Amino acid sequence: MPGTNRVVMFVAFDRNDSGEAVAAFMPRQAIDEAEAVHAVEILGGRHAGAVAWRRDSFPAVGEIGEPDVIAERGSIGDFG
């Protein structure tokens, strides 16, 4: 669709004192899906879990689409 922007993001999760998965850092933007999937593979081994997703936005009408998970490893919490 003309005027559509796609963003690909990833984030890792650690467990807090209550055992809940919480973001280890603010979501980061990837160059493309391959980079995001690779980040999840690495971060998922170093943290409780990691997730990557893509999301389309439609600036002309001020809408943002729902996140579409492209990779997930381990325990994840709220993101995106």
d(CA 34, CA 55): 15
d(CA 53, CA 55): 7
Evaluate whether residue 60 is within a structural domain: yes
More confident site: 58 or 26: 26
Average pLDDT estimate for 31-48 = 98
- Domain coverage including residue 69: 5-74
Flag the least confident range among 1-10, 12-21, 36-45, 63-72. 1-10
What total number of domains does the chain contain? 1
40 confidence band (pLDDT: 50, 70, 90): very high
Evaluate whether residue 80 is within a structural domain: no
Average pLDDT over all residues of the chain:
93
> With the C-alpha atoms ordered 66, 68, 73, 74, is the resulting torsion angle positive or negative?
positive
Given this model, what pLDDT does residue 50 score? 98
Given this model, what pLDDT does residue 1 score? 53
